Every structure is written in C-alpha cells, then in structure tokens.
Amino acid sequence: MNKNIYSRLLVCLLCITTVCSCKDLDEAPDNRTVIDTVDKVQQLLTSGYPAAVPAVICELSGDNLLDNNVVVPYTHYDPFYKFHEQAYAWEDIDNYSTGEDDTPYAVWESYYQGIAVANHAIQAMREMSNDPAHDPELSHSWGEAHILRAYLHFVLVNVFAEAYKNEAMSSAETGIPYVSEAENTVNVDYGDPKYRKSVAEVYRLIEKDIQEGIDLINDSKYKVPAYHFNHNAANAFAARFYLFKRDYDKCLKYANNALGGTPTLRDWKSINRNTFDAMKNDYNDEKQSWNFLLQATYSLQWRMLFGNARFAINEGTNLKYDGKDWHIPSTLDITLWGTGPNWSPILPAFSGMVYVNSAGQKYGGWLFRLDEYFEYTDKIAGIGYVHQIYQPFTADETLLCRAEAKLYLGNQAGAIQDLNLWTSSHQATDELTLDRIKTKYNRTNRNNDFVSELFDTIPLPPGDPLKYDTIWYSQKMGFENVMKGDNLSVLDCILHFRRIETIHEGLRWFDIKRYGIKVRHFYRGANEDAIHIDCLAWDDPRRVLQIPQNVLDAGFPRNRDNNSSVGSSGSGYLMPEFKGTPVRIGVKSE
C-alpha cells in the first residue's frame, strides 16, 4: 500500500482539475470541470474548509473533562465511542471506523483534503496568470489559498507533533508533511523526508504562506465573509501563530489589525434567550463582527457531553486511593460555573446558559453554544447529518492573545487592561485589578484549581526539606522569559480566561502543550474496579497524538512509540435524530 495522505480526495480532484485523460491526451473527460475562471477558483476554495475539527480528541487529552466513572460514585459507563477512552488514557487511538466523526483520521483526512484544494487552486491561478498575487481578479483568492493552507498545516502540526519550542529545539523534532504542490498521482510516498518536515520547518513554511497571503485578503469578494478567511480572521490567525512562535511584536501587530482601535467583543446581553435555538443562532450569527471565522462540522461533541455520561465537564472530588489522598479539581467550577478574580458566584454572561447532561446535573455540564444543528436526509426514518458550528477565531480569543503578548513584552498594565475588557464583555461589573488577580491566582493554597501546574520543586540535596530546585516547564519548552511573581499571577489569569473562552474548542490542549502544563487523569473502565491515575509531564511523548491508524496501516511512519492494541468500533456518518430536553443549571426545564 502507498503511504498516501489523501488518496480518496485526490481521485476526486483529478476529475475536476487540469489532468489529462488516460484515454485521450487531447480531450478532457466529460465529467471534469476545468478550473479556469475566477468564480471556479473561489468555488473550489470554498470546499477547502474542513468539516472536521480536533476539538473532541483535544478536549479528551486535556484537563477540561473528567471521567464520571471516578468522580460519580457507583457509575460504570461505557464511552460514547471506544476511541474516547483511548484518547483520555493518552493511548494510540486506533479503536474507530473511518466513518466516525471526531477521530484523528477524520481530522487528518479532512485537513489534508483542504490543503489539496488550496494547492490545486494555486496551481490553477498560476496557469491563469503570470503573477496571480498582483492580478486584480485573482489576488484575493491567491491570498485566501495561502492563508487557508497555512492554517490547516498549523492545526495538524499542533495536533500530531510537538509544540513549537525554539528554532534549535524544534529543528530536531519531527513535524508533519507540508504539502505545497498539487499532486497528480495517488502513489505519493509522504513518508519521504522531502515531505516530512521538522516542527521548525513547518513553522517556517506556515509563516511564508501567511506573509504571502495576508495582505491580499479582500472581504468584498466574499458572499458570507464569516465562513472564509476574511481580514479579521486572517489577522487573528497570524496573531495566534506568532503567539505560539513567541514573536510577541508580530502577535501584537496582527491582533491589533484584527481588533481595531476599540475592540468590539461579543455582546452577551444581545443574545435572545427566549428559546434554545434563538440563543444558539444569535451566538453563531455570521453577521456579528466578533465572529471572525465560523466552521461548520460533523462533530458529535454535543452528543458526547449531553447524551453520554462517561466523560464530562463536572464537579471533582477528593478520594483516597492506593494509600494516598488525591484531589480531582472541579472543571465545572474552573470553566463554566465558578468564580473569577472580579466576579462571583459565576461569570454573569453564562448565567442561564449552562446546561447539564441528560442523566442529571451531577453528570456534567456544557455551554449552550455546543448544541447541534440537525440536517434530515429522511424525516420519516428520523436520520440525517449532525452539524455543529465551531468558532476557530473570535475577537474575544484574539484579545487574550494580545494580552499574553503584552505581558511578555513587559506591558503588564496593558495586559490587565485587555483582561478587564474581556471580563467587562462577559458582564462582570467590578474592575479587574492586579490586586484582585494576585488574590485569585496564588500558589499558597495547595489545591488552587485556578492556577496551572507550570513548575516542580525538587529537594536538593536528596532528603533535605529546606533546599529546593525549581524546574520551570516553560523554560524546558524553550521560553526565554519565565513569568514569576506578579507576572506569574497575570499569566495564570490569562490561561484561565483562555480556558473559559475556548471551552469545547480544544485550544486548551494547545496551551497545555506549549507551556508544558502538567495534567493528571483519573479513569476507570466500564468493567473495572481499579482506578488508573496517570500524569502527563511536560516532556511526555504522549503529548503528540499518534498518526491515524489508517494512515499507519498504509505504511506511513509513526510519530511516537506504539502503546495500544488494535480494535474497531463505530458506525457511519448518518445519525438518528437525538431526542432530549436540555436543562439549565439552576433553572427549571424549558
């Protein structure tokens, strides 16, 4: 078998691009559309936005979800899909079918499919013009194709490779294939070193594509800008990229480009709360300026959190196990239903917006925006396609990128000002100050759940309790500037706000990876009595998600040691309509 990334897509693309017929080199096949006009290029690029997201596998890998088989007494639930259990245990994820949503294979295939679309669009434009970047008819599409290609590789490298550290360290770490040419054959060996780049090389190529395309974006060319890389979305992506690369001056520049002089953040007061659908539609309104980019997907995350009781955003617990006392923090308090530095008891914007698992409040909660849209294919049979709208880029998340950049540039006051804007937009009425931040995010309480584990203290010499050596994970991850003192409290605040803002999106996992944050998982199988306790340290190779099993089976080289057995489960894309009534926390059922 060939080591192909997107062979099925390529077979389809060969039918719509300028590839010669095997039957007659002088005649185009009847079922082929030649991409030779501006409109056809734009239509092709529309199909390049993936219908999959890594949100589920990233949420399961991170620290937002708890195993209810541990935190809820006497429960022994199976996962919604078997691969969810593997993801939570940081094992190789091979228990799935290619037809299942939210799998590593769905992400890999869908994102490389989008990359192939961008490459074929770029090739078509080169054939249409000697200089597409300066062609008034093509320059916008040229920009969109390069930004789209950059973003899709950015997601893939952050899921399937190590986080970026610095040029030297990341040059020695294996990344992903960066595909920048349109392929005309399905028999391509992407395991070849010329395709498989280091993490540093992938970042250099992403940056090259960003710089090639970002100034060419023209929002007037889009019918619905929010579903494309418009000006704000492209600049928000550039801000996040440079934040991850730790080029804070450029992060600040592009965040300012996206946010403008006075940032317009989400207006939570304007959301129509009369019906569940009204709330969801207002949140996902493509006309609202704070929704920089919307992504329609086939994700089943809502069904996983609402209909299944295994992994959830839930109350934690304290337990005694294996002769030790363990504290499992409440991720419901940390994200959706807890206090903050200048709000109590909950973030006001979320009041009446948090719903619970169908099994009851103690089995977990979720924010209303996660609810699905259902597209019927057969109303009588009650089956169709599940859609969820994700928001890869918003004004609110970009503001938090800017706050982090300001902190590292030495502008603590500016960072706090941005954080205060974020809390104000979420309807907190008290001003956010440094004193309030220091009070909330302190490390004197051993179980302060609102601060991330960013360092370890080790006794030196062994056995001497008075002398310690501090190991900063961020320093191990290549950060030149390690936040300490008041700046550490502000960083904790930023990371907490980002955790809230990006809930359900999977971005917390990227923050965990880039900072080397320590994560603990407590889990118990449906047929087990024993509880497993596992810790993911900053240098654990399991922070890299394994290349999809389907791709490995085709001969593609592994990106980490195999550590799981092979299995299969699952169904196709067609799903039955989900029946159930969401219930708000603290509010009677509607």
For residue 189, CA distances in Å to 2, 103, 118 come to: 6, 23, 20
| Three-state DSSP state, 116 | helix
Q: Calculate the average pLDDT of the chain.
A: 89
pLDDT exceeds 70 at position 25 = no
Architecture of domain 1-53+102-221: Alpha Horseshoe (1.25)
For the chain, the C-alpha Rg in angstroms (whole number) is 24
**pLDDT for the residue 97:** 83
Q: What letter does residue 286 receive in the DSSP assignment?
A: T
Residue 276 pLDDT level (bands cut at 50, 70, 90): confident
Where does the pLDDT of residue 584 fall: very low under 50, low under 70, confident under 90, or very high at 90 and above?
confident
pLDDT of residue 158: 98
Residue 556 dihedral angles phi and psi, to the nearest 5°: -70, 140
CA dist 214 → 151, 254, 325, 406 (Å): 12, 10, 52, 22
pLDDT interval class at 14 (50, 70, 90): very low
pLDDT top residue among 403 and 456: 403
DSSP state of 482: -
Check pLDDT > 90 for residue 579.
no
Mean pLDDT score, 197-209: 97
In this predicted structure, what is the pLDDT of residue 440? 97
Q: In this structure, what token pair is assigned to residue 294? A: 């919307």
pLDDT at 336: 97
* Residue 560, pLDDT score: 82
Rounded Cα–Cα distance for residues 141 and 119 (Å):
12
In this prediction, residue 575 carries a pLDDT of 73
In this structure, what is the dihedral angle of CA atoms 70, 76, 79, 82, given to the nearest 10 degrees? 110
Q: Do 531 and 522 meet the contact criterion of CB atoms below 8 Å apart?
A: yes
What is the tens place of the pLDDT at every residue in 389-429?
999 999 999 999 999 999 999 999 999 999 999 999 999 99
CA 210, 211, 213, 216 torsion-angle sign: positive
- With a pLDDT cut of 90, the percent of the chain lying above it is 77
Average pLDDT over residues 303-324: 94
Give the pLDDT mean for 71-93.
Answer: 96
Closest to 99 (Cα-Cα) out of 188, 172, 8, 232: 8
Give the C-alpha separation, 539 to 373, whole Å: 39
The count of C-alpha atoms lying within 13 angstroms of the C-alpha of 122, restricted to the half-sphere facing its C-beta, is 23
Q: What is the pTM of this model?
A: 0.92
Rounded Cα distance between 209 and 234, Å, is 11
pLDDT of residue 564: 36
Question: Average of pLDDT values for 263-281?
Answer: 94
Asked if residue 106 has pLDDT above 50, the reply is yes
Which pLDDT value is given to residue 188? 66
* Contact status, residue 96 vs residue 82, Cβ threshold 8 Å: yes
> What are 140's two structure tokens?
């916008």
DSSP category for residue 175: E
What torsion do the CA atoms of 501, 502, 504, 509 make, to the nearest 10 degrees? -140
Gap between the Cα atoms of 118 and 116, Å rounded: 5
pLDDT computed for residue 186 by the predictor: 59
Q: Are 300 and 80 in contact (CB under 8 A)?
A: yes
- What secondary structure letter does DSSP report for 456? E
Confidence of residue 321 (pLDDT cuts 50, 70, 90): confident
* Whether pLDDT at 221 is above 80: yes
Cα–Cα distance, 169 to 89 (Å, whole number): 27
Q: Using CA atoms in the order 158, 163, 168, 171, what is the torsion angle rounded to 10 degrees?
A: -40
Provide mean pLDDT across the span 189-205. 85
Element (H, E) at 142: helix 139-160
Q: What is the DSSP string of 199-266?
A: HHHHHHHHHHHHHHHGGG--GGG-SSGGGS--HHHHHHHHHHHHHHHT-HHHHHHHHHHHH-SS----
Q: How far apart are CA 396 and CA 258, in angstroms?
A: 11
Give residue-wise pLDDT tens across range 522-577: 999 999 999 999 999 999 999 999 999 888 888 888 888 644 333 333 333 577 88
> Is the pLDDT score of 306 beyond 50?
yes
DSSP state of 181: S
Quick check: 512 pLDDT over 80?
yes
Provide, rounded to the nearest whole percent, the portion of the chain with pLDDT above 70: 89
- Please check the confidence at residue 364 and state whether its pLDDT lies above 60: yes
Confidence at 464, pLDDT banded by 50, 70, 90:
low
Q: Which H or E run contains 583?
A: strand 583-584
DSSP 3-state assignment of 513?
Answer: helix
Token pair 């709208």 in the structure block, residue: 389
* Domain definitions of the chain by residue range: 1-53+102-221, 55-100+266-566
Half-sphere exposure of 182 (CA within 13 A, CB side): 20
Mean pLDDT (whole number) for 215-236: 98
Output helix, strand, coil percentages for the chain, rounded to the nearest 5.
Answer: 40, 15, 45
